[in-house]
A and B are shown apart, each in its own frame.
Chain A
């Protein structure tokens, strides 16, 4: 199965933009890139997903490299509520989702 690599942890100042990177060099043509986040003591929640083009929604933006071997989740203004573990996931054509260890984001007031 295709895998992703992310930094173990990152820090951001409150109200600053945050760029969370993800490498997925073995991605296949039909894999979608999904991002989920998990707040403390909660189940993961969906953030955003995309295939080739950059995507925006109310929570974040997803920038996908032209070769699709990497992507970046962008939080435009980090708040304390954004402190969570962020997971970059490749969703196969058979709907199987494999979580990695994710990136633990700390937001500094």
Chain B
């Protein structure tokens, strides 16, 4: 089966600009996650969707980050405006039962 797809793979922007990331989960996976991974740290959960509903967004900085999952399939994560500390790898994952499958991530550099 095809894995979790993410785009773009790399993005460089200046602070205060906006950026969006796209994720296509594995077909049939109802649960979708967005993680932020800062260099040298473990992934931090930003938001979890069950179908197109939000299950947990307690660690999402809602003043600048937003995410949506239209029709319970693809998802986008947006940062507006970006700060220097947002430089990280943004990982998307999906799951059906116990195992999470991760995409390759999008490496964001904010200058």
A interface residue numbers (CB < 8 A to B) = 32, 34, 36, 42-46, 49, 85, 87, 91, 94-102
Q: A43-B93, A45-B102, A91-B98 are in contact. Are A96 and B56 (CB under 8 A)?
A: yes
Sampled A-B contacts (27; CB under 8 Å):
A36-B100, A42-B104, A42-B105, A43-B4, A43-B91, A43-B104, A43-B105, A44-B43, A44-B91, A44-B93, A44-B100, A44-B102, A45-B102, A46-B99, A46-B100, A46-B101, A87-B42, A91-B98, A94-B55, A94-B56, A95-B55, A95-B95, A98-B45, A99-B35, A99-B43, A99-B45, A101-B41
In order of increasing CB-CB distance, the 4 nearest A-B pairs are A43-B102, A99-B42, A46-B99, A99-B43
A94 to B58, CA, bound (A): 14
Total contacting residues, chain B, CB less than 8 A: 24
B interface residue numbers (CB < 8 A to A) = 4, 31, 33, 35, 40-45, 48, 55-56, 91, 93, 95, 98-105
Min CB distance B83 to A, Å, is 22
Min CB distance A34 to B, Å, is 8
Q: A43-B103, A43-B104 are in contact. Are A96 and B48 (CB under 8 A)?
A: yes
CB closest chain-A residue, reference B93:
A43
Contact between chains at B98 and A49 (CB < 8 Å): yes
